[in-house]
């Protein structure tokens, strides 16, 4: 009977992963509630409960009183496959496993956490589609072309800001793939973890258990004399300092940092102890990114908005309507699409109104005026004002542009970047 339970748990887990891949989910969550285990998938950045799987996970193994749930066996199966201690249920654990589903190998990063009702499990699907190119990211033309121009600089620091899950690493992967087209460039990365192996790039994974941190790995990488360095994230003062110094000593450094927009990046580095003068000298480009859910083409419709609608009184919208030069494109801009609710859920989007996501990227090359402001330790507000004078699109403008083109809704833009 025990062997049958293990097989049942293994088969159920494989079907869960297959469902996640089919729905292009980024994460799988097993969350304990009183007397049941709930399965949730993160699809296009939003959680969805899969009730059919939740019911299966919450069934008992056999009819005898006191038997454990199928979910307990599935959690144990995941822990064993990912190299964790199956009998340790109190302390958080991390691991990873590889699973073959539908003839395709998928890497999952696994984390457990003991909660009041049981041991929760989070699984991140890593690089199911591989690293994409800049041309394959669905970036807006102005952002893509500006980023390509930035990548032509021989040395310096390019930083992308955004919250967790905003696609920063995906964009940097696309950038280093572009740089790797030059066979004469020596490219090294330090990441936590390595999400996607990329041809032509030597990738190093952080391992805190052996004191291989971003900072220590970066010091060793500099001794390898690379042309390009990808630093997965600037988390601490030492990593920030070394990244800036590397940009000043002949290396092109690409990295990410948590921040609200491009103008907030210098302040984040200053908070980590980097001198304003050194930062100003090293920086070549600032960028910020968000992901927006794409309208479902099957069920979303355009809503007629009159000329007096408050939407058109927004100065940002007025600027965008003026700046978009394609007359064919502008012909439909006055009717941004809105999600339509119907009684029968759309099969294409499972009734959510959205399928997939698109990136909104703000890219700001560093002008001498901006560099001088950073050198003088100007505030983010002062930097935003100067970016406006230089007609650099804001992050909100990039998001609204997608709404005006019918790719996302105003509701989604408000959720992601707010109304102001």
What are the contacts of 276-279 at 24+ separation with CB within 8 A? 276/374, 276/375, 276/376, 276/377, 277/375, 278/244, 278/245, 278/248, 279/244, 279/374
pLDDT at 232 > cutoff 80: yes
Tell me: pLDDT of 313 over 80.
no
Tens digits of residue pLDDT in 269-293: 999 999 999 999 999 999 999 999 9
State the sign of the Cα–Cα–Cα–Cα dihedral 67, 68, 71, 76.
negative
**DSSP H helices in 23-81:** 51-57, 70-81
The answer to whether 76 touches 9, Cβ cutoff 8 Å, is yes
Q: Please report the pLDDT score of residue 400 as a whole number.
A: 87
Q: Where in the chain is the domain with CATH 3.30.450.90?
A: 2-126
pLDDT tens per residue, range 66-93:
678 899 999 999 999 999 999 999 999 9
Name the DSSP class of 355.
Answer: E
Position 371 pLDDT exceeds 60: yes
* Mean pLDDT calculated for residue range 399-413: 86
Compute the average pLDDT of residues 105-126: 93
Q: Are 234 and 272 in contact (CB under 8 A)?
A: yes
pTM score, two decimals? 0.84
Give tens-digit pLDDT for 236-268: 999 999 999 999 999 999 999 998 999 999 999
* Structure token pair of residue 211: 């004191």
pLDDT of 308 reads: 55
For CATH 3.40.50.300, the residue range(s) in the chain are 141-417
pLDDT, position 307: 56
C-beta neighbour count of 104 within 10 angstroms:
10
Q: According to the model, what pLDDT value does residue 238 have? A: 96
The helix-helix angle for 395-404 and 410-417 (nearest 10°) equals 170
pLDDT at residue 418, as a whole number: 79
CA distance linking residue 57 with residue 40, whole number of Å: 12
The whole-number average pLDDT for the span 228-241 is 96
Question: For residue 36, what is the enclosing H or E element?
Answer: strand 36-43
172-208 pLDDT, tens digit per residue, is: 999 999 999 987 899 999 998 888 888 889 999 999 8
pLDDT at 339: 44
pLDDT tens digit sequence for 315-364 = 666 666 665 544 334 433 333 344 444 456 677 777 778 888 999 999 99
Give the distance between the most distant pair of CA atoms in the chain.
75
Say what the pLDDT of residue 381 is.
Answer: 96
Percent of the chain with pLDDT over 90: 62
Q: Identify the residue with better confidence: 195 or 378.
A: 378
Q: What kind of architecture, by CATH, is found in domain 2-126?
A: 2-Layer Sandwich (3.30)
Of all helices (H) and strands (E), which one includes residue 373?
helix 368-375
**Pairwise CA distance, residues 300 & 213, whole Å:** 46
Arithmetic mean of pLDDT over the chain: 87
- Tell me the mean pLDDT in the region 202-215: 92
Long-range contacts of 7-13 (CB under 8 A, 24+ apart): 8/70, 8/73, 9/70, 9/73, 9/74, 9/76, 9/77, 10/77, 12/53, 12/56, 12/57, 12/70, 12/74, 13/74, 13/77, 13/78, 13/99
Q: Give the homologous superfamily in CATH for domain 141-417.
A: P-loop containing nucleotide triphosphate hydrolases (3.40.50.300)
């Amino acid at each position: 009977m025990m062997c049958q339970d293990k097989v049942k748990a293994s088969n159920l887990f494989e079907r869960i992963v297959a469902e996640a891949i089919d729905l292009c989910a980024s994460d799988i969550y097993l969350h304990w509630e009183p007397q049941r285990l709930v399965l949730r998938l993160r699809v296009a950045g939003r959680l969805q409960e899969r009730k059919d799987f939740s019911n299966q996970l919450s069934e008992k193994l056999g009819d005898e009183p006191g038997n454990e749930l199928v979910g307990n066996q599935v959690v144990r199966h995941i822990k064993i496959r990912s190299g964790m201690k199956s009998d340790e249920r109190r302390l958080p654990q991390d691991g990873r496993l590889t699973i073959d589903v539908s003839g395709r190998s998928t890497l999952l990063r696994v984390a457990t956490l003991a909660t009041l009702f049981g041991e929760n499990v989070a699984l991140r699907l890593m690089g199911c589609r591989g690293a994409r190119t800049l041309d394959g990211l669905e970036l807006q033309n102005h952002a893509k072309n500006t980023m390509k121009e930035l990548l032509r600089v021989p040395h310096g620091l390019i930083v992308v800001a955004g919250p967790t899950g905003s696609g920063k690493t995906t964009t940097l992967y696309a950038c280093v793939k572009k740089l790797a087209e030059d066979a004469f460039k020596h490219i090294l990365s330090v990441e936590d973890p390595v999400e996607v192996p990329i041809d032509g790039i030597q990738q190093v994974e952080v391992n805190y258990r052996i004191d291989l941190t971003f900072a220590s790995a970066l010091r060793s990488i500099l001794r390898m004399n690379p042309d390009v360095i990808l630093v997965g994230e600037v988390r601490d003062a030492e990593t920030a300092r070394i990244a800036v110094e590397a940009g000043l000593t002949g290396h092109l450094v690409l990295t990410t940092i948590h921040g609200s927009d491009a103008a907030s990046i210098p302040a984040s580095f200053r908070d980590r102890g980097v001198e304003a003068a050194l930062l100003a000298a090293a920086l070549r480009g600032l960028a910020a990114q968000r992901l927006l859910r794409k309208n479902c083409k099957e069920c979303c419709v355009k809503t007629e908005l009159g000329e007096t609608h408050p939407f058109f009184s927004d100065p940002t919208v007025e600027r965008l309507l003026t700046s978009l030069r394609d007359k064919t494109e502008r012909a439909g801009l006055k009717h941004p699409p809105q999600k339509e609710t119907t009684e029968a859920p759309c099969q294409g989007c499972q009734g959510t109104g959205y399928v997939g996501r698109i990136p909104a990227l703000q890219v700001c090359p560093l002008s001498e005026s901006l560099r001088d402001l950073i050198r003088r330790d100007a505030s983010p507000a002062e930097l935003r004002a100067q970016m406006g004078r230089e007609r650099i699109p804001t992050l909100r403008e990039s998001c609204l542009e997608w709404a005006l083109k019918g790719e996302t809704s105003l509701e989604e833009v408000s959720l992601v970047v707010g109304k102001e």
